[in-house]
A and B are shown apart, each in its own frame.
Chain A
Amino acid sequence: MDDGGGLRLDMNGLDYLILALYFVTVLGVGFAARRAIRTSVDFFLSGRSLPAWVTGLAFVSANLGALEIIGMAANGAQYGVMTVHYYWIGAVPAMVFLGIVMMPFYYGSKVRSVPEYLRLRFNRPTHLLNAISFAVAQVLIAGVNLYALALVMQALLGWPLWTAVLVGAAIVLAYITIGGLSGAIYNEVLQFFVILAGLIPVTVIGLVKVGGVNGLMDAVRDSKLGEAGLHAWQDTGTTANPLGAHWLGIVFGLGFVLSFGYWTTNFAEVQRALSAKNMSAARRTPIIAAYPKLFIPLVTVIPGLVALVTVKGLGAESGDLQYNNAIPLLMRDLLPNGVLGVAVTGLLASFMAGMAANVSGFNTVFTYDIWQAYIRRDRSDEYYLRIGRWATVAAVVVGIGTAFIAAGFSNIMNYIQALFSVFNAPLFATFIIGMFWKRMTALAGFWSLLLGTLVSLSLYLLYKGGVVNFNSDLEESFWGAGLAFATAVVVAAILTPLTAPKRDEELRGLVYGMGGVDLKGDVLAGDAVWYRSPVLLGVIAVALAALFYIPVF
């Protein structure tokens, strides 16, 4: 399994200086953000004060966690160019939809979280169900992110696992407890640039090594992927392609249900937009994020392909040559000290960004949607601010615990991702019907969400138990998500006529066509210019995604 050197990088003092400088800056940002916190909304939503470019980059950064960098490079090596589906059809359209269509209801109703929207639109049981499942999922994923961070630090730097877990957790804990969401968001913007600074040199030297884009294409044709590794849509009329997915599955499963479920209802993402300073900035947040998202495959999929053709034996079941190590292997082979330090810093930044998004989403939902709504009502704002800080500490401590649980499973990342995406599909169905069909009743909302989740969960367990068979985990998640979506729709259609609707006044600002949404709310003079129009920016992003497919069709 071992190819000689292991994964250990040859870091010198200057590389460590670059890493240390980053850690100091991250903590400094947390401390400096502290003076801007006086109320709970300052702590949980940055006082709704941030400009669109900041919230937009934080929005994309919150998603640039372990799964994104390591996982998408691994997918690039394993499935080839088809990996771009996760970006161009599996992310950009949903991000644009969130900004143009859904954000007016989220931001305009002044809800402080995604579960809170469900409380206003439906009822308290729906709210509590979603708040608890979101909170549990966030601490689990935070633990997985932390464990992945520790694994990389152990492999690359030789740090013991528990030291790496504690150091990573302590830094995230410090800057969120002290600096709140502003600390998290500001660091995410910084992380975005550091991650790019780390990945671009790997990509550039990788391309030089294989003789440019043409050299890479020739080499991929000769690899085990072959010609199929260079096409995104070819052979998707059947499942005989690297991803094993039919185009229907790609378009409706990945592009619609999974992607819309993740991007439009995941509060760890939506929270970034809710912290924007006005309606225009909130709507532009996910759309501005869509632009970097269009280009990120350049620095994940290309290194994955380079690793495939340059690292002999890549794709082993275990050991150092797993697909997951594509980027660390290239860093080891290609980067001299200096940019190596920047690249390691970028990798660690990406893990911390992922974990910080989970923790800051958790503390808000825990405080506003569980503690304030069901446990201790009518306390002072200072009280909830304090609870938020303690919830952050609790989330990180539990995250350390779940990190060690994650250590006991070989590929828990896949499980959690599958489960999470399956939880999102019925949530998205409930949201989208509730937002556009004013007649949908509170009871219908609750049962749609619950039964949709149970159906997808059952299918997942049946698949894992070997009762139902699919070609791949991916195919199972497409079907699970689709079935959950369909269940939620059918339940809503059956229960709504049988139960009492909400009054129109209660739905104002929450449902399409009911009024109460002010798209021009709090506009600044500069927001009216054409290049800040959310609709125009969104249309361009989607058009670019379609255009990008042409050379790799």
Chain B
Amino acid sequence: MSNDGQPPAQDPLIDEAQEEQRRSAAARLFDIRRVIGGLFVAYGVIVTLIGVFDSRAEIDKAEGVRINLWAGLVMLAFGLFMLLWQWLRPAEPPAPNEKQPGT
């Protein structure tokens, strides 16, 4: 792939959209890791609690596996991991919108 420094072919419709893009509000988008983390922590807590109080019948239905307990704990751990990841590595700041080489 040659890179001769020249910009790609021009098109009025695309240029217009690129121009408008300077007003973009995309930087205000929230971080999805928070939502995934939150939902899975909630699921984890609910399903783990169900698992703690599972009756014999429920455990037998799942072939003797305490599936609610295990699945609940795994979901809880996954949810916490997402929240921790977001906390330790916040989203990289958006690149400024000014670069248009060659124009």
Report if A and B associate in a common complex: yes
Q: Which residues of A contact B (CB under 8 A)?
A: 14, 17-18, 21-22, 25, 28-29, 32-33, 35-42, 46-51, 54, 104, 108-112, 116, 119-120, 182, 186, 189-190, 193-194, 197, 200-201, 204-205, 208-209, 277-278, 333-339, 342, 368, 372-373, 381, 505-510, 512-513, 515-520, 522, 524, 526
Please give the distance in Å from B4's CB to the nearest CB on chain A: 4
Q: Is there an interface contact between B9 and A508, defined as CB atoms closer than 8 Å?
A: yes
Within 8 A of A (CB), among B30-63: 30, 32, 35-36, 38-40, 42-43, 46-47, 50-51, 54, 58-59, 61-63
In angstroms, Cα B11 to Cα A50, docked, is 24
Binary A-proximity of B60-103 (CB < 8 A = 1, otherwise 0): 01111101100110010010000000000001101100010100
Please give the distance in Å from B75's CB to the nearest CB on chain A: 6
Please give the distance in Å from B72's CB to the nearest CB on chain A: 7
Q: B42 to chain A: which residues have CB within 8 Å? A: 21
Q: Is there an interface contact between B9 and A507, defined as CB atoms closer than 8 Å?
A: yes
In angstroms, Cα B6 to Cα A108, docked, is 12
Q: Is there an interface contact between B35 and A36, defined as CB atoms closer than 8 Å?
A: no
With A39-B23, A205-B63 given, name 18 new contacts (CB 8 A): A18-B46, A39-B17, A42-B25, A46-B26, A49-B27, A54-B32, A112-B17, A116-B13, A193-B36, A208-B64, A333-B61, A337-B50, A342-B75, A381-B20, A508-B9, A510-B8, A515-B3, A516-B7
Q: Is there an interface contact between B4 and A515, defined as CB atoms closer than 8 Å?
A: yes
Residue from A37, A112, A339, A368 in contact with B25 in the complex, judged by beta carbons closer than 8 Å:
A37
Q: Is there an interface contact between B23 and A14, defined as CB atoms closer than 8 Å?
A: no
Q: Is there an interface contact between A506 and B94, defined as CB atoms closer than 8 Å?
A: no
- Name which residue of chain A comes closest to B60, CB basis: A336
Residue from B11, B59, B67, B95 in contact with A277 in the complex, judged by beta carbons closer than 8 Å:
B95
Instruction: State whether A505 and B36 are in contact (beta carbons under 8 Å apart), knowing that A47-B21, A48-B26, A522-B99 are contacts in the complex.
Output: no
Residue from A49, A120, A522 in contact with B11 in the complex, judged by beta carbons closer than 8 Å:
A120
In angstroms, Cα B19 to Cα A367, docked, is 18
Instruction: Count how many chain B residues have C-beta atoms less than 8 Å from C-beta atoms of the other chain.
Output: 56
Q: B68 to chain A: which residues have CB within 8 Å? A: 336, 338-339
Q: B28 to chain A: which residues have CB within 8 Å? A: 35-36
Please give the distance in Å from A438's CB to the nearest CB on chain B: 12
Q: A120 to chain B: which residues have CB within 8 Å? A: 9, 11
Q: List 27 A-B contacts (CB under 8 A).
A: A21-B43, A28-B35, A37-B25, A39-B21, A47-B24, A47-B29, A51-B92, A109-B9, A110-B17, A111-B14, A200-B71, A277-B95, A278-B95, A334-B63, A335-B62, A336-B54, A337-B58, A338-B67, A338-B68, A338-B71, A342-B75, A372-B13, A516-B4, A518-B101, A519-B1, A520-B3, A522-B95
Q: Is there an interface contact between A38 and B24, defined as CB atoms closer than 8 Å?
A: yes
Instruction: State whether A38 and B23 are in contact (beta carbons under 8 Å apart), knowing that A336-B68, A337-B58, A338-B50 are contacts in the complex.
Output: yes
In angstroms, Cα B35 to Cα A338, docked, is 21
In angstroms, Cα B95 to Cα A509, docked, is 23
Instruction: State whether A189 and B20 are in contact (beta carbons under 8 Å apart), knowing that A508-B8, A509-B8, A516-B7 are contacts in the complex.
Output: no
In angstroms, Cα B68 to Cα A193, docked, is 17
Please give the distance in Å from A111's CB to the nearest CB on chain B: 7
In angstroms, Cα B76 to Cα A186, docked, is 20
Q: Is there an interface contact between A40 and B1, defined as CB atoms closer than 8 Å?
A: no
Q: Is there an interface contact between A108 and B8, defined as CB atoms closer than 8 Å?
A: yes
For the complex of A and B, the 6 pairs showing the least CB-CB separation, nearest first, are A509-B8, A47-B26, A49-B26, A336-B58, A338-B50, A38-B25
Residue from A201, A337, A513, A522 in contact with B71 in the complex, judged by beta carbons closer than 8 Å:
A201
- Name which residue of chain A comes closest to B53, CB basis: A338
Q: B36 to chain A: which residues have CB within 8 Å? A: 189-190, 193
Compute the total of residue contacts between A and B using a CB distance below 8 Å.
193
Which of B2, B62, B91, B101: most chain A Cβ within 10 A?
B62
Q: Is there an interface contact between B95 and A524, defined as CB atoms closer than 8 Å?
A: yes
Q: Is there an interface contact between A513 and B14, defined as CB atoms closer than 8 Å?
A: no
Per DSSP, are chain A's interface residues mostly helix, strand or loop, or mixed?
Answer: helix
Residue from A49, A197, A204 in contact with B94 in the complex, judged by beta carbons closer than 8 Å:
A49
- Name which residue of chain A comes closest to B78, CB basis: A193
Residue from B32, B40, B65 in contact with A186 in the complex, judged by beta carbons closer than 8 Å:
B32
Q: B78 to chain A: which residues have CB within 8 Å? A: 193
Which of B1, B9, B14: most chain A Cβ within 10 A?
B9
Please give the distance in Å from B22's CB to the nearest CB on chain A: 9
Residue from A50, A204, A510 in contact with B67 in the complex, judged by beta carbons closer than 8 Å:
A204
In angstroms, Cα B25 to Cα A108, docked, is 22
In angstroms, Cα B71 to Cα A25, docked, is 20
Q: Is there an interface contact between A509 and B7, defined as CB atoms closer than 8 Å?
A: yes
Q: Is there an interface contact between B24 and A49, defined as CB atoms closer than 8 Å?
A: yes
In angstroms, Cα B7 to Cα A505, docked, is 10
Q: B63 to chain A: which residues have CB within 8 Å? A: 205, 208-209, 334
Q: Is there an interface contact between B29 and A109, defined as CB atoms closer than 8 Å?
A: no
Residue from B3, B4, B39, B72 in contact with A22 in the complex, judged by beta carbons closer than 8 Å:
B39
Instruction: State whether A41 and B8 are in contact (beta carbons under 8 Å apart), knowing that A205-B67, A338-B51 are contacts in the complex.
Output: no
